[in-house]
Structure 1
């Protein structure tokens, strides 16, 4: 960490030096500029921000449009307001200035620059399928994972939260659905062109995010871009636009959708019911039930609510950030420093030696410098340092937070008293884990993760060779390391209900846990090549050629190496007709020599139809562009063995040493080497994706309503599958390229922007539909036609590769119904209250041949988002919703979660008295194979609509902030995940993360925040 801090100190020193150069005081005479600001119809405009360019001097126009501002005689002024085009005026020797501001329109939208790999293009020029947003309008909500802010904002991008624990919230991405059943189908995450995770970045560091979706955009990255790319670009300083920005936010996270705990009386009653259903004697007599209900003896008949005792309903969260930027035409800078702190939910964690409550802290540092060394040579340094600190209860056995949650959610409420009468920890021979002991006498684990991300680039213009030509080089170095330490301890538990009492577990005094450095990872990339950007009359050419070498090294694995040669040419004629080509020659050492490289071409075409004489723009249709792309992409895709372990160099046969044959008269075995199974496959290759994209960009209603729509059709071949070889061979092959999947659909985004009598209104929406079908896959011989996955989608409900389900037909209500039905052979015990299944093949037996392939999947068929930003005078409000459709979840394990598979949902289980209203099968403590089978009885809709973010702000009047020498001061309240609409409300489950608050999973959280932003 020390070396990272030293690097950061150097960057900060450079930043301060450059800031001083950029902000040198001027010595010209001061004068006052004044005038009036009106719109195109002559009406006065108030609230216009007037800025002396290159300084922090600002003023605002009054209700009559008048303004006055002090500056130097040679200064220029900037006039800006939301809904109007920015206007810059040279002051010179003028004292009175009349300004007319024009309202912004859609032409500006299509002339906005969009980031693509190592370049920028206007939306008008782009033929690619991309979704791009600036982050200026993103809410400032303190969440530990920046990725969650992307939900519902980009067409074609599915953002799914899969975990809730602070600092480790897992976010899964998919671009245009799923088109491969092999593992490793997530898109690549790139920051400033380098493969990096951006989830732990601070929101202030990010300027824009672009999602690349079609072959023309993705083929720049060769084998790495097959599943889509999310391109994140960090902020840079702008000449003569100096600022200092402070952000302060504090709030709390609130628990939702916790599993309902049972009290001891209900637990014992349901436990008896489970035994009775199986023909066994009850475990609890009436006296015990009465004691639990009356709580007459809490030591002999304890009644624990572990959740109330050890889990808070809320936890605090806070974020602080300061950023500054600006500079001159020669030197520009941006710097950001932030601190994030989030506590866990555990109670009773403070001891004299440590606090075992979960805690996550993060420090982020960012310095971006751009320096024009000469008129032809420019230089950039982009550097980020991040340090994360996690505190976790050891929880016994090293299980951490998950181990404690498992105790809270799965221990029977009557297992033991938390504390015995003499103050010792309660426990039994069966239940030896005590939650209080886990939190106060098991120790604490602390981990520090340090990250250094650095990139340096240089651009040399070569106009002396030919105008528009430049040479470029880019180098990145990323270092990741971690350090762990803490305390260990152990406790004993005592069962005082026995005579004599018995003690379990071996206590251990407080001791230092082993401290040391973990695996250190170092990644670096080099890109070098040429760019050619030139306009000659009606012709515009943008061309790039690059070579790349990337290496990722760690001490505990083989290095990863990739090499790439790529070229891109975009041509425009009259800014109306556009052609493009991208081609890459990409390779990886993961494949056999001679089979390591492939060529991935893609072509594009675009036509601005609205520029033609036969379709001149009107108020109804202001702009229309048609575009298309087609190409072949590649996906390197990791290879896994049958146990889910990653296989490196899958083309090689690997050998190990072990016992060999018995030789000689002593019958002793020899040591020999033998081939590891599965063996390598030298023909292993990458997935190939043929991609077609047809799109349109349209503007309606005098450039107020914008629509972008794309149709896509992709066929992916050579997907890795298990090899079905005859057993006589005696060895298995790691994988074979035998799969084929087709994926097609459409995505679209809509944006409406309008200024209505002083109300600035912005509405956004996006929708994606993606359907896939499995066309080819190697299958075991003898697979029944109705059990074949071919022709169905490739998603799975339970994530374990199972697409087959039994078809349920209600619950058996009597033994007579069971006797009259096909024989149920899925379990040894079938009694009234069990699930009845359909005999699919008609053999009068319910067995594995009655499970059928289905289209149920946890990958949604469609996903969408919508929201708005509205501002009026001092007030503003913004929201963003996200929804998914066509997703299915399996609630079987959720219904059976809790102590002995019992929880509040068990109260809705079948009994003879509740036969007509029961939602779930009978309670069974053992021999429950029939009801636990994978069947559609347990499937539920996982569709939802969520209010992801909401923020309400109040901006102080300009006349006040300018007097305080501020650009802006804003107070706001906000929230994350505040509302959810689904069909699972009656089950008290979150449809996106249904396992949250069950088993050993962290509870679902809502975030509420209050903040202030001040800009100087």
Structure 2
């Protein structure tokens, strides 16, 4: 309103001048009056839209060069209007962006695209959870991506948006099936337990459990259980920060031992009411499949195998070669069974707006996704997101509320057809008979589609809500409290109807069965905090003191039923003739803590940051429940030193270091207690109990010591910005399950193992602004990470049950394998080194060669191009690693092989199953160093092309057309399909192409 009044006042002043000229008109002054009147008539209204190339920019200041009295600000939609002469020059300035000057040159519409100013980006605030800090002043190691990086990827899990974009963050997709999970490791593997390396996830200040949900008995096609992170809608995420070193994570204590992932959802902004609709259609197919034998090659192999075995008459069970199956039939089973197209449809809508005091955002998302498997399987997900922020008139009181609700329904086959698609004989029968029913070919084979009759259905409802209240008592003293709540319901079932079995078996619906699993996990958290800051001469002091109270309750009920009168009743457990409760339990996790932070900055050059936390966890026994953790971080901004002031080359320079100790309590609940389960057996009217765990009150926190030193440098006004970091972490007092002899009645006993695991590595991140111009921009981001994992010590290892699993001085991820020495010159059979020289080859004595499947290094290279209304982004991901090759079965048996196996000179003699020495050697070969392949790859991970339609400003509409691709191209030497996905028997990640339109008005 002030700006409108100023504008009107300026016009009134001009009118007064004109009237004054008119009253004093004389012929001699005629020319003097005419000129200013002509100038006024030539002025016109200039309008346009200001964007950053992707989104409109509100709050941009627009002024006329050389005229201090004229100016305006862009509104919420990035639109502006200003009155100026055709010869004027407009100046566009905005915090964090390069100031742009544009001559009007008689134009009435002038749209402008601003470019981020790398130098000012050092002033951008970084979220560290309990506090925020300027990018230039942070002492910890933090990686960040924003909604700009997230929105151009057609994915459903937020972890997928981080792949290849963050140094030190290794993420692998576990399955290409809808709803599949991801494995994430931040700076290596700290714990000897596979389930002890998960980071802490924080969504809008609320801890979100990373524990997988569901049961292996009711899970679907993925090799791991359902990922709870599928509940987070990527399009609702504003930014993701990953805290890596001790300085950044120690304030989270034990929960931050493996890093912290902070997920911040989008918030509303002040301005006019704004609507946005985004719709896209995607198509997904399997990325890379291995080249297999055709029918001619396969039958030649099979026939030679029988010759080698001395068999002259094919047995009746050799249907592929004895004439039962046609020798002229060929089916590409990979195309038939996993070669379908997954159809994905997404619709996103939002409305936002409000005043400077109160603003809001409401959004909704709906997504459907089919599979590449035959059949009618579908994954649907709907979500809603709401946020609201209010500030009192005196700006002392603030309240922020955010809530995310997601409902998922995932119906998938209970079996994955990937493995069978690579092993089925290419001349196997048709899938269906003439009537369209499943073809069992007179019982000569198991129809692979029969497994699809067994289905897994998962219904997940998830709520995450948070409220933050703050009140500023003094200009430098603020009290804040965060209240968080989560509630997750997961209802899974796995059916096995009688229709999945060969009808010749005569099994009726009485053989049908169902397994169900219900999981409810709810938690609440309260975190009161006090923030204080004060400036003392050249120094600035900040203090934070807070506490945490958290409670999490998990209920599980696993049931089984079999024997149904009809398969149509299979989902009605009450209709089963046999019913059993396999598991029913309730676990409660309680956590409390005190945390503090002290930060001191002297003269914008020297920074000291101290953080500490006193943790208490219910997962440990009496006397072991509490632990104290902390860290110190320092930074020297040497570019602010007097001797570097005015330097035209080095625009920014910072040397930082940190050291600290964090803990780890990721062991599950009640591990120190005696626990029992019901046997389900009734003895004299009493249900029996069976002990499942021994009491052990002595084990306590794992300890993780972290050290890091890093150098951050910017050159040429930060157009070139380089960050290099070296870290050194050691995790000790390992929490593991120590195996026990069977005579004890227990398989293991949890305790602290006196073993130390070390992770050290080097990270490099490079950001460059290559070209900038009025219409064209080009920027590049590159990162690479090298991590080395090592078992430093393990007292008594050789006498323990881990003697054949770990080696001191080697990575904890190693696999002991045989050492391949070549083929016997006489028999042609594979041979292996006899390590202990006892004359025989055994797994215990001779599997001593080491294979490490952990990547040697990984990273990504992304580029962004902008030309007028067109933007192109693409990311190449690269990984250096090894993996085992394809081992489908002994060549010569009723199993298809890679096409390369047809070169018999490089193989053992084929056998149809008679030659035991060949079979034994083949199995050892699969567990030897000869089976290792270079599985390194470079992948076009993501590409996005966006076009802004040049619409008229008066329409108030912005329309963007886009194409997005995921996993489009892969360059690799690996022969066993997709190199990222090394399991082999499960569906690899999909290649996805998406087209869509986004409307904003």
Match for residue 372 of structure 1? 391
Find the counterpart in structure 1 of residue 519 from structure 2: 519
Q: Secondary structure at the residue paired with 1:856?
A: strand
Which residue is 1:163 aligned to? Answer: 175
Where 1:610 maps in the other structure, the secondary structure is helix
Is 1:327 the counterpart of 2:354? The answer is yes
Question: Is the 2:89–2:101 Cα contact (8 Å) retained in structure 1?
Answer: no
Q: Distance in 1 between matches of 2:733 and 2:75?
A: 58
* Residue matched to 2:217: none
Q: Judge conservation of contact 1:50–1:79 (CA < 8 Å) in 2.
A: no
The answer to whether structure 1 residue 179 and structure 2 residue 193 are counterparts is: no
Is 1:1011 aligned to residue 989 of structure 2?
Answer: no
CA drift of 1:708 comes to 1.7
Determine the structure 2 residue equivalent to 1:990. 978
> Does structure 1 retain, via aligned residues, the 8 Å contact 2:534–2:540?
yes
Matched, 1:691 2:706: yes
Paired with 1:555 and 1:281, the residues of 2 have a C-alpha distance of 62
Give the counterpart of 2:365 among 338, 361, 382: 338
Q: Which runs of 5+ in 1 are unaligned?
A: 1-21, 69-76, 89-95, 297-301, 350-356, 394-399, 495-501, 639-646, 661-667, 798-802, 816-831
Change (3 A) 1:387 1:121: same
Quickly say closer, same or farther: Cα 1:892–1:550, change in 2 above 3 A. Answer: same
- Distance in 1 (CA, whole Å) between partners of 2:994 and 2:337 is 24
Structure 2 matches for 1:18-417, cutoff 5 A? 34=46, 52-53=74-75, 57-58=79-80, 84-85=98-99, 105-168=117-180, 170-183=181-194, 184-196=196-208, 198-240=229-271, 243-260=274-291, 266-280=297-311, 283=314, 289=321, 306-347=333-374, 349=375, 357-375=376-394, 376-393=396-413, 400-402=414-416, 408=421, 410-412=423-425
Does the aligned pair in 2 maintain the 1:632–1:688 contact within 8 Å?
A: yes
Deviates more, 1:854-863 or 1:873-882: 854-863
Residues 967-1006 of structure 1: CA deviation (Å, up to 9, x unaligned): x32212121011112221xx2511111345xx4x224420
C-alpha change, 1:712 and 1:925, in structure 2 (3 Å) is: same
Residue 57 to residue 805, structure 1, CA distance change in 2 (3 Å): closer
Other-structure match for 2:672: 651
Residues 415, 451 of structure 2: 8 Å contact kept: no
Structure 1 equivalent of residue 884 of structure 2: 890
Quote the offset at 1:190 in angstroms.
Answer: 1.7
- Structure 2 CA distance, aligned partners of 1:555 and 1:431? 46
1:450-849 correspondence to structure 2 within 5 Å = 450-463=461-474, 467-483=475-491, 490-491=498-499, 503-508=504-509, 518-556=518-556, 557-638=586-667, 648-654=669-675, 676=691, 679-721=694-736, 723=738, 733-758=749-774, 759-779=776-796, 781=798, 789-796=806-813, 803-815=815-827, 832=828, 834-848=829-843
Partners of 1:942 and 1:982 within 8 A in 2: yes
Instruction: Check if 1:903 corresponds to 2:896.
Output: yes
Q: Secondary structure at the match of 2:188?
A: coil
**Is the 2:119–2:717 Cα contact (8 Å) retained in structure 1?**
no
After superposition, what is the alpha-carbon deviation per residue over 1:377-425, rounded to whole angstroms, capped at 9, x for unaligned? 11111011111122234xxxxxx243x5566555545565544567764
Task: Quote the Cα distance in structure 2 between the aligned partners of 1:310 and 1:243.
Answer: 46
Q: How many residues align?
A: 888
Separation in 1 of the partners of 2:658 and 2:644?
24
Shift of 1:226: 0.4
Residue of structure 2 in register with 1:879 after alignment = 874
* Structure-2 change in CA distance of 1:902 and 1:244 (3 Å): same
- Is the contact made by 2:816 and 2:850 (CA closer than 8 Å) also made in structure 1? no
Deviation, structure 1 residue 1008: 0.9
Distance across 2 between alignment mates of 1:210 and 1:85: 28
Partner SS state of residue 426, structure 1: coil
How far apart are the structure 1 equivalents of 2:518 and 2:942? 37
Contact 1:252 1:1007 in 2 (8 A): yes
**Contact conserved, 2:598 with 2:609, CA < 8 A, in 1?**
yes
Helix, strand or coil at the partner of 1:733: strand
Change (3 A) 1:29 1:247: farther
Deviation of residue 852 (structure 1)? 5.1
Query: What is the CA–CA distance in structure 1 between the aligned matches of 2:705 and 2:391, rounded to whole Å?
Result: 42
Cα distance in 2 between the residues matched to 1:563 and 1:757: 54
How many Å separate the matches in 2 of 1:492 and 1:231?
A: 45
Query: 1:1002 is matched with which residue?
Result: 987
> What secondary structure does 2:249 align onto?
helix
**Residue of structure 2 aligned with 1:868, choices 851, 856, 863:** 863
Deviation at 1:860, TM superposition (A): 1.2
Q: Could you tell me which runs of 5 or more consecutive residues in structure 2 were left unpaired when the two chains were aligned.
A: 12-43, 51-59, 103-107, 209-227, 557-585
Structure-2 separation of matches of 1:579 and 1:864? 31
Compute the displacement of 1:902 (Å): 2.1
Change in Cα spacing, 1:213 to 1:60, as seen in structure 2 (3 Å) is farther
2:982 equivalent to 1:956 = no
Point out the more displaced range, 919-928 or 706-715. Answer: 919-928
- Distance in 1 between the 2:339 and 2:740 partners? 55
What is the rounded CA distance, in whole Å, between the counterparts of 1:187 and 1:850 in structure 2?
A: 37
Residues 205, 466 of structure 2: 8 Å contact kept: no
1:492–1:507 contact (8 Å) kept in structure 2: no
Once the two structures are superposed, residues 226-260 of structure 1 have per-residue CA deviations (whole angstroms, 9 ceiling, x without a partner) of: 01111111111222375322212112112233355
TM-score, with length taken from structure 2:
0.79
Deviation of the 1:564 alpha carbon: 1.4
Q: Which residue of 2 aligns with 1:825?
A: none
Q: Which segment drifts farther, 479-488 or 519-528?
A: 479-488
Q: What CA distance in whole angstroms lies between the structure 2 residues aligned with 1:936 and 1:920?
A: 17
1:891-929 deviation per Cα after TM superposition (whole angstroms, max 9, x unaligned): 253x4399967224166156xxx32xx267745647423
Q: Which secondary structure does the structure 2 equivalent of 1:930 belong to?
A: helix
Q: Choose 127-136 or 430-439, whichever is displaced more.
A: 430-439
Cα gap change, 1:85 to 1:792, in 2 (>3 Å):
farther
SS in 1 for 2:254: helix
Match of 1:396 in 2: none
8 Å contact from structure 1 (residues 658, 671) kept in 2? no
- Separation of aligned partners in 2, 1:944 and 1:213: 26
CA RMSD of aligned residues (A): 4.5
Deviations 1:693-729 (A, max 9, x none): 1112211123211112211111111113454779998
Shift of the alpha carbon at 1:760?
Answer: 1.4
The 10-residue stretch of structure 1 (218-227 or 194-203) with the greater mean CA deviation from structure 2: 194-203
The 10-residue stretch of structure 1 (483-492 or 1002-1011) with the greater mean CA deviation from structure 2? 483-492
- 1:434 and 2:447 are equivalent in the alignment: yes
Partner of 2:920: 929
TM-score by length of 1: 0.78
